[in-house]
Amino acid sequence: MNRRWVLIGLFVLQGLCALFFVTEIVLTVIGARAAPISWHIRELMELGAVVGLVLGVVLGGVALQQAVRARKDAEASLRGVQIAFRDHMEATFTQWALTPAERDVALFTIKGMSIQEIAGLRNTSEGTVKAQSNAIYRKSGVSGRAQLLSLFLDDLLAEDAED
């Protein structure tokens, strides 16, 4: 939350500094200068605005670098979870003694594909996929696709609760 306020403050600072220069240009163009100020004060104001803009760019770059690093870390963590989940599924399929065809059908079923989609992907009939699905349900001790998916979700959530 603190980082968020720093970024908001940074954007406000940059906006005010940019507004200073835009205001100077607009006032010069329309000739609306009320009272001239000494060049020393004007130079200090411009220098302050430049420092604010440069600071904003530098800190914005740091924030961007941190965000990119956090994204890469999250992606690496996700890849690790995907690999672990895939390994868990493979171990479970081995425990259930699924054939290679049943493994494919089980994986597609867990992904949420329909019987028709699975048959199309495997270049087989819907009847074959239904028979393989029934064999998977029997070997895994469930009565349908929702319970099959539930087995893996329960394992995933149980592992998450232990950490």
Q: What CATH number was assigned to the domain covering residues 96-163? A: 1.10.10.10
| pLDDT tens sequence across 6-24 | 878 888 888 888 898 888 8
Mean pLDDT on 125-136: 96
| pLDDT tens sequence across 48-102 | 888 888 888 888 888 889 889 999 999 999 999 889 889 999 999 999 999 999 9
Q: Where are the domains of the chain?
A: 1-78, 96-163
Indicate whether 142 pLDDT > 80. yes
Contacts by 134-143, CB closer than 8 A, 24 or more apart? 135/98, 135/102, 136/96, 136/98, 136/102, 136/105, 136/106, 136/109, 139/96, 139/97, 139/98, 139/102, 140/96
pTM for this model (two decimals): 0.62
